[in-house]
A and B are shown apart, each in its own frame.
Chain A
Amino acid sequence: MTVHLYLSLVPEALIASMLTPEQFGAYYAVGSEKKSHGQAIFFELDPDYRNDDLPIEAGLSRCVPHEDGEPKRSVYISVYRALEHISLDAIKKLYLVTQDGRVLGLDPSTELPAEEAGLHLYQEIAPVHPLVVSTLPPHEFYDLIVNSPASLLTLPAVCFVELRLGELAENPEYGAVGDLPYANIDHLRQCLVDLRTKTVSTKMVDRISPASFPYRTIKSGIFVGNKEQFLYFPLPSRDELRAKQYRWWRSANM
């Protein structure tokens, strides 16, 4: 049985597993006894990737089939500061798993999303997960967090998603909320207004925001970057998802 290497983002962890990405996603979301349910996001890594700060070899050596021949589902190699030690070259694919275990694989894109006017809403996924609004487009937001020498707060690596703001992006005071499911929408409006009236480029909306979020709110895709590289995993359009990935789309839209 092939051993795979996965980098989970919710929670941040490096995991070895004998399950394929689809099997692992379903297992990770609902458990082997299928008693739990919860969203999962993870990268599939090159199984040959090694890093001195992570005991990958030791983990892989423990990832052997059970006595009854069943594949080993998960061996946790690291549950802390994993993302910062992974070279982005090792990332093969990103997987978004719905709460009932439907798995969608996304390939990285060489092109960044087209820049649009208006404000932005970012949900940081790892290593910390606040909800932040910003005047900066995704690439500049990543630069601010990871590469800005002037910033007091920097992270060695970050994974985040840009969420839809709808009419609020252009008109935070009076724009229609529509189908934006965010809690405490008045506070979100105020934070967006502050970006325009105060000299700040980012503002924290929720410091204890859960890292999970409705996939239908993803604006363009998921971003991951460290000091060396920045990758973008675009989510296909709604029409394409409905047409080609109906089961996942339906589950994601519950």
Chain B
Amino acid sequence: MAETTWLIIGIVCGLISIGFAVRLYFWVLKQDPGTEQAKKVASWIRQGAISYLKKLYRALLMLALVMAVLIAIVFGMGPEGPSHGFQMALAFLSGAFLSSIAGYMGMTIAVEANVRSATAAEKGLSPAFNVAFKAGAVLGLAMIGIGVVGMSTIYLLTGKAQIVLGFSFGASMLALLAKAGGGIYTKTADIAADLVGKVEVGIPEDDPRNPAVIADNVGDNVGDVAGMGADIFDSYVASAVAVMLLGTAISADLGAQYIIFPLILCTLGIISSLIGIQLVRVKPDGKPGVALNNGTIFTCLIFAVLASAFVLIFKYNIGVLWATLAGLVTGVVIGFTSDFFTGDDRPPVVETARVSGSGAAITIITGYSYGLISIVPSIIGIVIATLVSYYLAEAAGLSGVYGVGISAVGMLAVTGMIVSADAYGPIVDNARGIAEMAGMSQKVVETADILDAAGNTAKAITKGFAIGAAALTVLALFAAFASEMAAEGVQIKLSLLDPMVIAGVFLGAMTPPLFSALTMLSVTHNAFDMIEEIREQFRKDPGILAGTSEPDYNTCVTLAAQGALTSLILPAFLAILLPLIVGFVMGPEALGAFLGGAIFTGIIFALLMANAGGLWDNAKKYIESGFFGGKGSEAHKAGVVGDTVGDPFKDTAGPSLNTLITVMSLVSSLFAPIIAVFHLF
């Protein structure tokens, strides 16, 4: 079949996916929103979340417009003329806009589904799970549908993979702001609410008397729904684009079908996710965590069968199949090894909980050490996937780096299911909070607890998956960067004997730790402001703690939103400007070395922070569940310290690093043709 036909099939499948998402969206809205009090609490969360999104998108619009003008000017000055610059700018804006639409849909349904899931919990576990998971699937299906429709349409209209790179850069730009901003927001609110609420005035979590409780619940949505969704969408699009660029380089020998092959894989992934999502069911006395994991495994199996059948029927080079399967298996392995290091009753968590009886210092050292060890299986998985996909692709007569790129696409093809399971987490977390705040029955709270525990496991698996996918994606982007440079006659050969290369490696390696520090310092700085606000409210109105008057939730929501967005400016500029400065000043090879350094430390830091943070969180929960002294014991106090340290690790800095290295790689690839010509040294 002609490439055009496949692109049209991709667009149709993408639209079907979006259609399913819209159908589920309205199905969720039709569910019972519950009592007046529940609706009131949910409306506070909804208003806070939508208000944050509006502020975020306003900031993005300003930045995107400035960037679009710059892109149009810079690329319009090239040999392909102003129309190329215009197309690139338009693709960039489309990427940012469509990514915003997916995030907005996910967020709006999440803040409607939380109260409906809590209300459905009165009827039992199964209905409550159904509402939460279907709402999560809205984001999953909308995201992959929008991604495939966007990429296929742009390629169909322009026939240039580089223009699709502009689309990917737009999506990544939003992802960086959404992920880092959401991460700062959510932990600012969480830490402030806990420190004043639990420690200073001694009120329980999710207590409506806490002025930061709504900001905390809003944070779950902006961090874990919009943020994580944007992060995976960014990798999803970037991996496909990187392979399209690599496919362009080999298309002269092997044919144009290898340029659009990643889009075909994404299309097969849509079909697999649509089927897999239908298979996720939980019985009245079943286990939601098992249902989510089974859904992921079924989706992977369906995708593996479809991809194999496609490659064999349409006689593609068998190397692409091996690379696809290598990526898919690695994604699953990385996801589930993350669960080993952060799972509730796994040895690392139990050991960290056990030693907590000796104080917070030992908790920190033990958790940090396991976080460092947790890097090993993921890195080995990435190494195996890279080598297997590279050499099997080479052996089959394909370019090895093309194989590496395909393995990233293979891993991300089931994004629809992964994101659905991930977005389910904050929805049930919120459902539990609403049940508490609205004084719903004990049965609802207990059901929400069961759903929430499954959400935490799904979240841990998704984080591992997102980091693994980002790692392979940036390796593919790195190859795409080298390929773009080669197209301009610059061969990237990195030698550690070259001082520019050494300088580039060091500067690149420095960037992820610096970015992590900036985002985590933003959390502590903003949390400090919010703590002052909460104390002030308690001081001014004693009725808040007595339960006779309502706190001012809105001020805390506004403080968290403004703080997060202001704090984003420096890290965002760092991500965009540093690679450009290195490239234009130090030259293409230094930029290649810079990317290499950033990719290596970025992946290691991301794995360490995500897993150590998750481990500390679950060690505290393990103690709270009745081990090593339970609540109120010395071990519990140490566990709380570990959890507080781990919060910005796992929800702010760690996950944002994926997006940082993707954005830096995209900026480098995008500007590679210009840097190849204009550089100081």
B622 shortest CB reach to chain A, Å: 11
Which of A26, A180, A185 touches B630 (beta carbons < 8 Å)?
A180
- Write the B629-643 contact mask toward A (1 if CB under 8 angstroms, else 0): 111111010000000
Q: How far is the CA of A99 from the CA of B204 in the complex (A)?
A: 10
Chain A residues near B201 (CB-CB < 8 A): 30, 34, 37, 100
Contact yes or no, A251 B204, CB < 8 A? yes
B200-223 residues at the A interface, CB under 8 angstroms: 200-204, 207
User: Does B185 touch A at the CB level, under 8 Å?
Assistant: no
179-216 of chain B: CB within 8 A of chain A: 198, 200-204, 207
Segment at the interface with A among B464-472, B499-507, B540-548? B540-548
A243 touching B202, Cβ below 8 Å:
no
Query: How far in angstroms is the closest Cβ of chain B from A204?
Result: 21
Closest Cβ–Cβ distance, residue B123 to chain A (whole Å) = 19
Contact A34 B546 (CB under 8 A): yes
Q: Give bound CA distance, A178 to B546, whole Å.
A: 34
B627 adjacent to chain A (CB < 8 Å): yes
Is B628 part of the binding interface, using a Cβ–Cβ cutoff of 8 Å?
yes
A243–chain B nearest beta-carbon distance, Å: 6
**Residue pair B627, A178 in contact (C-beta under 8 Å):** yes
CA–CA, A35 and B536, complex, Å: 11
Complex: chain A residue closest to B637, CB-CB = A181
Give chain B residues whose Cβ lies under 8 Å from the Cβ of A37: 200-202
Cβ-based interface call for A203 (8 A):
no
> Are B631 and A254 within 8 A (Cβ)?
yes
A179 in contact with B538 (CB, 8 Å)? no
Residue of A nearest to B201 (CB): A37
Q: Does A253 sit within 8 A of B, measured CB to CB?
A: yes
* Contact A177-B546, Cβ < 8 Å, known A100-B203, A254-B202: no
Q: Beyond A35-B539, A214-B632, A242-B442, is A250–B204 a contact (Cβ under 8 Å)?
A: yes
- For B636, what are the chain A residues with a Cβ–Cβ distance below 8 Å? 181
Q: What size tier do the contact residues of chain B reach?
A: 20 to 34
Q: Which residue of B lies closest to A99 (CB)?
A: B202
What 1/0 flags go to A213-254 for Cβ under 8 Å of B? 010100000000000000000000000001100100011011
Range of interface residues on A (Cβ < 8 Å): 20 to 34
> Do the beta carbons of B632 and A181 come within 8 Å of each other?
yes
Interface of A is mostly: loop
A59 within 8 A of B: no
B 420-440 contacts with A by CB, 8 A: 436
A180: B residues at CB distance < 8 A = 629-630, 633
Closest residue on chain B to residue A38 by CB atoms: B202
B202 touches A181 (CB 8 A): no
Interface string of B520-545 (1 = CB under 8 A from A): 00000000000000000011001011
Residues of B with C-beta under 8 A to A214 = 631-632
> How far does the Cβ of A8 sit from chain B's closest Cβ, in whole Å?
19
Query: B545, A30: Cβ atoms under 8 Å?
Result: yes
B545 engages A254 (CB within 8 Å) = no
By the criterion CB–CB under 8 Å, are A251 and B544 in contact? no
Contact partners of A181 in chain B: CB under 8 A: 629-634, 636
Which B residue sits closest to A217, measured CB to CB?
B632
A183 at interface by CB-CB < 8 Å: yes
Q: Which residues of A lie under 8 Å from residue B200 when comparing CB positions? A: 37
**A89 beta carbon closer than 8 Å to chain B:** no
User: In the complex, A101 Cα to B545 Cα: how many Å?
Assistant: 9
Interface check A32, CB cutoff 8 A: yes
- Whether, in the assembled complex, B255 has its beta carbon less than 8 Å from a beta carbon of chain A, the answer is no
Question: Within 8 Å of chain B (Cβ to Cβ): is A115?
Answer: no
Question: Does B81 touch A at the CB level, under 8 Å?
Answer: no
Interface centre among A242, A246, A254 (most CB of B within 10 A): A254
Q: For the complex, is B626 an interface residue (Cβ under 8 Å from A)?
A: yes
CB contact list, B76-123 vs A, under 8 A: none
Is B630 a contact of A178 with CB atoms below 8 Å? yes
Residue A33 at the B interface, CB < 8 A?
yes
CA A214 to CA B633, docked complex, whole Å = 10
Q: CB-CB < 8 A to B626: which residues of A?
A: 178-179
Q: Nearest chain B CB to A149's CB is how many angstroms away?
A: 39
- A253–B624 Cα gap in the complex (Å)? 9
Output the residue of A35, A100, A101 with the most chain B CB within 10 A: A100
With both beta carbons as reference points, the residue of chain B lying nearest to A180 in the complex is identified as B629
Tell me which residues from 16 to 51 in chain B have a Cβ below 8 Å from any Cβ of chain A. none
Residue contact A26 to B538, C-beta cutoff 8 Å: no
Please judge, given known A-B contacts A246-B442, A251-B204, A254-B204, whether A32 and B542 are in contact too, CB under 8 Å.
Answer: yes
Residue of B nearest to A31 (CB): B542
Task: Known contacts A34-B538, A253-B631; decide if A26 and B546 are in contact (CB<8 Å).
Answer: yes
The answer, among B203, B628, B632, for a CB contact under 8 Å with A251, is B203
Name the A residues within 8 Å of B630 (CB-CB): 178-181, 216
Given A35-B538, A181-B633, A182-B629, 20 other A-B residues pairs in contact with their CB atoms under 8 A:
A30-B546, A32-B542, A34-B201, A34-B542, A34-B546, A98-B202, A99-B202, A100-B202, A100-B203, A100-B204, A100-B207, A179-B629, A180-B630, A181-B631, A181-B632, A182-B633, A216-B632, A246-B442, A250-B436, A251-B203
- Pull 8 A–B residue pairs with CB atoms less than 8 Å apart, ordered by A: A34-B545, A100-B203, A100-B207, A101-B546, A178-B630, A181-B629, A181-B631, A185-B629
6 closest residue pairs by CB, A with B: A179-B630, A181-B633, A34-B545, A179-B626, A37-B202, A99-B202
Listed in ascending order, the chain B residues whose CB lies under 8 Å from chain A are 198, 200-204, 207, 436, 442, 445, 538-539, 542, 544-546, 626-634, 636
